């Protein structure tokens, strides 16, 4: 598992420590809300979400996970006047040149605005099969990325990134998790994330690793 710690301010100053009791989570993704509340545990008394403040999601115009995480976190921090947390995540597949990457959620978008990750996984499968003549011949290496940005109302932000490496399977397996979890098997396991209960998934997941880094960097 490769981990990168990043500074949003690109300087040598020490990380800023979170000292409040409420964080506003910049998401409307119910799966992420549930997982992040479990990961934060008792470190924060109140974990609210952007929807509680009637906020729409800002346009994610960045081309990297870091850029999009910062866009979301800083938007919510500015609008609420509170410390905000955003996650930008996705899966990068060797068989299709690292796609979908930051566009992982976009691949699941339907015309009515809802998301269908079964459709997104099928798209990834079909692209890999077409590129390599058949799915069986396609490289199966892939990795998930989770970039967390913790932003203060004054514009300061701390950013960490976690990755989870593994392989792809087809057909998808499991009804747990969310997103592309049912087609991803993490390294040193035989189950997909879609087959793992939360307590097992968080031992190796990209998001859990990012939170471990965030806790070490910004919490005491």
Phi, psi values for residue 107, rounded to 5° = -65, -20
Rounded Cα distance, 142 and 122, in Å: 16
Catalytic residue among 11, 52, 88, 154: 88
- Residues 120, 122, 128, CA angle at the centre, nearest 5°? 105
Question: How is residue 26 annotated by DSSP?
Answer: -
Q: Tokens 């947390």 belong to which residue? A: 85
Phi, psi values for residue 119, rounded to 5° = -65, -40
Q: How many CA atoms lie within 13 A of 125 on its CB side?
A: 16
- Which residues lie closer than 8 Å to 178 by C-beta, 6 or more apart? 29, 31, 32, 117
Per-residue exposure over 170-182, b if at least 16 CB sit within 10 Å of its own CB, e if not: bebbeebbbbbbb
Which of 40, 79, 87 lies closest to 56 in space, CA to CA? 79
Question: How is residue 162 annotated by DSSP?
Answer: E
Is 88 annotated as catalytic?
yes
| Residues with a known catalytic role | 88
């Amino acid at each position: 598992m490769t981990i990168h710690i990043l500074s949003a301010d690109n300087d040598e100053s020490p990380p800023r420590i979170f000292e409040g009791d409420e964080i506003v989570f910049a998401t409307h993704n119910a799966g992420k809300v549930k997982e992040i509340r479990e990961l934060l545990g008792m470190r924060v008394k109140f974990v609210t979400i952007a929807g509680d403040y009637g906020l729409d999601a800002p346009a994610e115009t960045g081309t990297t996970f870091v850029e999009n995480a910062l866009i979301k976190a800083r938007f919510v921090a500015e609008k609420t006047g509170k410390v905000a947390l955003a996650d930008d995540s996705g899966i990068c597949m060797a068989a299709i040149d690292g796609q979908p990457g930051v566009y992982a959620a976009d691949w699941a978008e339907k015309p009515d605005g809802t998301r269908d990750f079964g459709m997104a996984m099928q798209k990834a499968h079909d692209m890999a099969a077409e590129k390599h003549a058949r799915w069986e011949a396609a490289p199966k290496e892939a990795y998930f990325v989770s970039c967390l940005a913790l932003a203060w109302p004054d514009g300061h932000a701390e950013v960490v990134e976690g990755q989870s490496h593994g392989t792809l399977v087809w057909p998808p397996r499991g009804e747990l998790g969310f997103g592309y979890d049912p087609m991803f098997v993490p390294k040193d396991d035989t189950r997909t994330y879609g087959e793992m209960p939360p307590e097992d998934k968080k031992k190796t997941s990209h998001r859990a690793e990012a939170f471990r880094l965030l806790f070490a960097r910004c919490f005491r």
